[in-house]
Amino acid sequence: MTATPKILFVSDANESDRAVLDQLSRDREVVLEQSPIRAMGRLLREEFAGVFVSARYLEQASHIGRLLESQNILENMPDGVVVLDSENTIIWGNSRMREWAGRPTIVGMNFYQVLNGPEILGPDFCPFHTALATRRSSGSTLRVADKYLQVHAAPIFDREGKPQNLIVSVRDVTQETLQQEKLARIHAAGVELADLSPEVLSTMSVEDRIQLLKCNILHYTQDLLNFDVVEIRLLESATGKLTSLLAVGLVPEAQARDLYALPQGNGVTGFVAATGKSYLCEDTTQDPLYLEGCANAKSSLTVPLILHDEVIGTFNVESPEPRAFTESDRQFLEIFSRDVAVALNTLELLVAQQQTAALESVDAIHSAVALPVDDILNDAVNLMERYIGHETDVIERLQRILKNARDIKQVIQQVGRQMAPAQAVLQGGEASKRPRLRHRLVLVVDADETVRSAAHSLLERYGCIVEAAHDGEEAILMVRNLGQGLQYDAILSDIRLPDMSGYQFMVRLQEMLDFVPLILMTGYGYDPGHSIVKARQAGLKDVLYKPFRLDMLLDAVERIVQTVPPQAEKSAPLP
């Protein structure tokens, strides 16, 4: 017996199509579908002898035809693709979705039922409803057992412009999500490396803090990164030497090896420290840079420890397996190493905390007295100018005032050093870092009180004896009445003084001194009357551009004191 032909009739059964429907139904099985999308789903899973499409659906029928032509592409896509109706029922789905669902067919089933009720993680907790309601695409992330799926739903509009169905793409983002979660855990661990409460810190010595940091680094390296062989070295900026902070799993020879931040002859560690670039050694037997660290190591990964864009050390891990480290491992270790660098910096700050607390009060007292003492000096030299040649006893008294005022500052500094704890003085021995500045007498000339105060604070920290003047005339008097056989080792002057330019001030000094140790201070691009050009032609030694860093100020003063001719050198006026 011949089967009755089956016809798919795509129409809303309007009056104009009714006659055709009645005629076909006499000797054929007619399946009526009012939705073109549903009709497409039927065509993909059922066999029909023919298809009737209402004229009203011709445009959509053309679209369906194109979709059908693309069926093979959709079937073999690595992502899942489904077509849903307004009730989240699957009208059509590709092979990837059937594979994830573990079912031979998914048509007619609820989308979430197919995936066994996944957990919706957001950001949109009703992505399909949102897409239909807003007429815009929406998305979310689903968790299905140990898999993470990212869904993207886009509405399909009928001929009247109303959203009736959804095309949903489903992508497996398990690897990306797990990597992001691991990154978050690594960062959280890094933050905890030096996260200690004030109560805990107060009971810990410096050695205890260092040991705790090393234990935390090792714990998180093994637990989160799964690295068992670890070496961290810190860079000594003065010598370029890389000293060992933490070494686990290395042979004794490797741990004791002297390494420097040099691209050649110092292994991968020296190369990374010198270049600031990570280095993945996939096969130690073939890599000319590699020096033995772990016994029988076949691969290694080394990243720089970077703080404020400067290399402060290296972080090295090794494995007995060749090509054991991936680009993801490199990324993870680089992120963790940044947190390690911050923790090491925090530790250094904690070590300096005792020094800061002990010396703060001394610095505060000295800062409070420095400018008033300068005022005493300025007033005294002004008075001396008036009485020179007239009142010898007045001059002698004023000279004693000058000496006593200078002694006051020195006594405050000496008492402060004696009051501070020995450890604080040792750690904060800034003067030992710039020995050429100790006991150097410096005159700062600037109308800005902030500049004069900062000069006291910064230069005296390194052992300089600082005095200040408000303008050029006052500075001339300070130089003239400094004392027999004495001279300022360095004179820092603003290029624009209230009563004269920097060049004019230099000319006045040259009339009094055989050697003028002058440094002019100016803002970038500002040189009224070409003062710097004239001063350079007249023998100016150095220029300091504002705003300047501390190291720039110290370097400038060091340069000027080293240019003092032998005949101009003298002993420091004060102990």
Percent of the chain with pLDDT over 90: 14
Whether pLDDT at 138 is above 80: yes
Is there a single domain that holds both residue 56 and residue 79? no
Over residues 106-126, mean pLDDT: 87
Strand ranges (E), 402-483: 441-445, 465-469
Residue 204 in any domain: the answer is yes
| Exposure class string for 326-350: b at 16+ Cβ within 10 A, else e | eeebbbbbbbbbbbbbbbbebbeeb
Q: What pLDDT does 13 receive? A: 66
Same domain for 148 and 282? no
Specify if 575 maps to a domain. Answer: no
Q: Is the pLDDT of residue 421 over 50?
A: no
Rg of the chain (C-alpha set): 41
How confident is the model over 383-401, as a mean pLDDT?
A: 72
How far is it, in rounded angstroms, from Cα 54 to Cα 39?
12
The reported pLDDT for the residue numbered 523 is 72
Amino acid identity, residue 509?
L
Q: Which of 111-125, 151-165, 510-524 has the lowest mean pLDDT?
A: 151-165
Q: Same domain for 434 and 561?
A: yes
Q: Identity (one letter) of the amino acid at 44?
A: L
Q: Is residue 554 part of a domain?
A: yes
- Judge whether residue 272 has pLDDT over 90: yes
Q: If you ran DSSP here, which 8-state letter would residue 56 be given?
A: G
Where a domain ends, among 350, 380, 409? 350
20-34, 93-107, 331-345, 405-419: least confident range: 405-419
> In the structure, what pLDDT confidence band is assigned to residue 271 with cuts at 50, 70 and 90?
very high
Structure tokens at 186: 């690594």
Residue 21 covered by a domain: yes
Structure tokens at 519: 């440094």
Q: Element (H or E) spanning 484, and its range? A: none
Question: What average pLDDT does the segment 448-477 reach?
Answer: 87
Instruction: Write out pLDDT tens, residues 69-104.
Output: 545 556 666 788 888 888 888 888 888 888 888 888
Instruction: Tell me the per-residue pLDDT of 352-386, one tens digit each, with 9 for 90 and over.
Output: 444 554 455 556 655 666 677 777 777 777 777 77
pLDDT band at 443 (very low <50, low <70, confident <90, very high): very high
Residues 426 and 556 placed together within one structural domain of the fold: yes
Note whether 41 and 83 are same-domain residues: no
Mean of pLDDT values over 262-277: 93
The answer to whether 523 touches 545, Cβ cutoff 8 Å, is yes
C-alpha 43/C-alpha 45 separation (Å) is: 6
What are the tens digits of pLDDT across the range 189-231?
556 655 555 555 555 565 666 666 677 777 766 666 667 888 8
**Candidate from 53-67, 86-100, 393-407 with smallest mean pLDDT:** 53-67
Residues 339, 223, single domain; the answer is yes
Range of lowest pLDDT (166-170, 387-391, 473-477, 518-522): 387-391
What are the φ/ψ torsions at residue 420 (nearest 5 degrees)? Answer: -70, 145
What pLDDT, on a 0 to 100 scale, did the predictor assign at position 277? 93
Residue 311: its pLDDT value, please? 92
Structural domain contains residue 59? yes
Q: What is the mean pLDDT of residues 446-454?
A: 86
* Tally of structural domains, the chain: 4
Q: How confident is the model at residue 425 (pLDDT cuts 50, 70, 90)?
A: very low
**Using the 8-state DSSP alphabet, how is residue 384 labeled?**
H
| 3 or 481, higher pLDDT | 481
Q: For the ranges 54-63, 65-74, 469-478, which has the lowest average pLDDT?
A: 65-74
CATH code for position 240 = 3.30.450.40
**Residue 1 in domain:** no
Q: How much is the pLDDT for 432?
A: 61
Residues 334 and 293 in one domain: yes
- Contact of 33 with 25, CB cutoff 8 Å: no
Rounded-to-integer distance, Cα 19 and Cα 260, Å? 93
For residues 406 and 475, state if they share a domain.
yes
Q: State residue 56's pLDDT score.
A: 63
pLDDT at 238: 83
Low-confidence winner among 118-122, 216-220, 302-306 (lowest mean pLDDT)? 216-220
Of 155, 172, 189, the position where a domain reaches its end is: 172
Residue 574 domain flag: no
Q: Which amino acid is at 303?
A: V
Q: Are residues 14 and 107 in the same domain?
A: no
Q: Identify whether residues 185 and 322 lie together within a single domain.
A: yes
pLDDT at 163: 81
- The answer to whether residue 573 is domain-embedded is no
Q: Of the given ranges (71-80, 171-180, 277-286, 513-522), which has the lowest mean pLDDT? A: 71-80
**Average pLDDT, stretch 244-262?**
88
**Phi (first) and psi of residue 553, to 5 degrees:** -65, -45
Q: What is the pTM of this model?
A: 0.41
Given pLDDT bands bounded at 50, 70 and 90, which one contains residue 331?
confident
Mean pLDDT of all residues belonging to the chain: 77
Helices first, then strands: H and E counts in the chain: 21, 20
Query: Domain containing 532: what range?
Result: 357-568
Over residues 5-26, the pLDDT tens digits come to 777 777 776 666 777 677 777 7
Whether residue 259 has pLDDT greater than 90: yes
Distance, CA of 41 to CA of 81 (rounded, Å): 13
pLDDT value for 273: 94
Distance CA 97, CA 93 (A): 6
CATH number for 92: 3.30.450.20
The pLDDT value given to residue 187:
64
Last residue of a domain, one of 141, 172, 203: 172
Range with the lowest mean pLDDT among 97-111, 329-343, 385-399?
A: 385-399
The residue-averaged pLDDT of 311-321 equals 90
Residues 331 and 397 placed together within one structural domain of the fold: no
Strand partners, 316: 231, 302
Which comes out higher in pLDDT, residue 433 or 522?
Answer: 522
User: pLDDT confidence of 54, banded at 50, 70, 90?
Assistant: low
Domain CATH for 493: 3.40.50.2300
- Whether residue 368 sits in one domain with residue 516: yes
Q: What is the pLDDT of residue 242?
A: 92
